[in-house]
Amino acid sequence: MRVFIVYCHPSEDSFTRNMRDAFINGVTDSGNEYIMSDLYKMGFDPVMTEQEYLRDANYRNTPEVAADVLAEQEKINSSDAIAFIYPVFWTEAPARLVGWFDRVWSYGFAYGDKTMKVLDKAVILCSAGNPLERLEEFGLLDSMKRVMLGDRLFGRAKEAEFIVFDGTSREKEQREKNWDMNLQKAYEEGLNLFGQKD
């Protein structure tokens, strides 16, 4: 089976990049395969054009969809699951990933008369500088889940999971203390993505 990984981080020197690699190792060790869009490396343009806006705003299912958007949509429909891997910036995904949703979740694909397949599973793996307790205390974790699970992924996957790797800011002792444990967790998520057990 295949998972489409949508990865979004501006730096190779990050916990998130290591988390991505651990997840990929789990996927391949379980005998499954992956394809990936590294949104920064590929220079994915997150800015919706006026033409794209008018097409979607007027609910026009017309064929003039940009080539880069069509390529992402084809990756989705050729996969069984999707994984989003990113750092939390101000209680949200990076702007490039938000723009990916703006453009790729187009009318006639992700809503309206949909051609997007319903995926078996969607998983969100995000790294957050704040500890989980703080994200919960101020309702930020619930907000992130509502946006990703309740809006962006609603009805587009049979099963969805939202996992936060917290306390990953460079100045936090928790980052180093939990490094190996967190990477093991990411690996196991990849390993068990399609139901295999180690």
pLDDT along the chain (198 residues), means of 10: 98 95 98 98 98 95 94 98 97 97 97 96 94 89 95 96 87 76 94 76
- Whether 20 is in a domain gets the answer yes
Q: The domain containing residue 112 runs over which residues? A: 2-191
- Whether 55 is in a domain gets the answer yes
Provide the 3-class DSSP secondary structure of residue 61.
Answer: coil
CA gap 70, 103 in Å, rounded: 10
CA gap 6, 44 in Å, rounded: 11
Work out how many domains the chain is built from and give that number: 1
- Whether 107 is in a domain gets the answer yes
CA gap 141, 7 in Å, rounded: 20
Of 163, 166, 189, nearest to 178 (Cα)? 166
Q: What is the CATH number of the domain that holds 158?
A: 3.40.50.360
- Whether 198 is in a domain gets the answer no
Whether the Cβ atoms of residue 9 and residue 40 lie closer than 8 Å to each other: yes
Provide the 3-class DSSP secondary structure of residue 32.
Answer: coil
Give residue 132's pLDDT: 86
Q: Helices marked H in 78-172 — which ranges? A: 95-104, 132-137, 140-145
- Whether 196 is in a domain gets the answer no
Give residue 197's pLDDT: 46
- Whether 83 is in a domain gets the answer yes
CA gap 146, 83 in Å, rounded: 17
Strand partners, 34: 3
CA gap 5, 170 in Å, rounded: 25
Give residue 198's pLDDT: 41
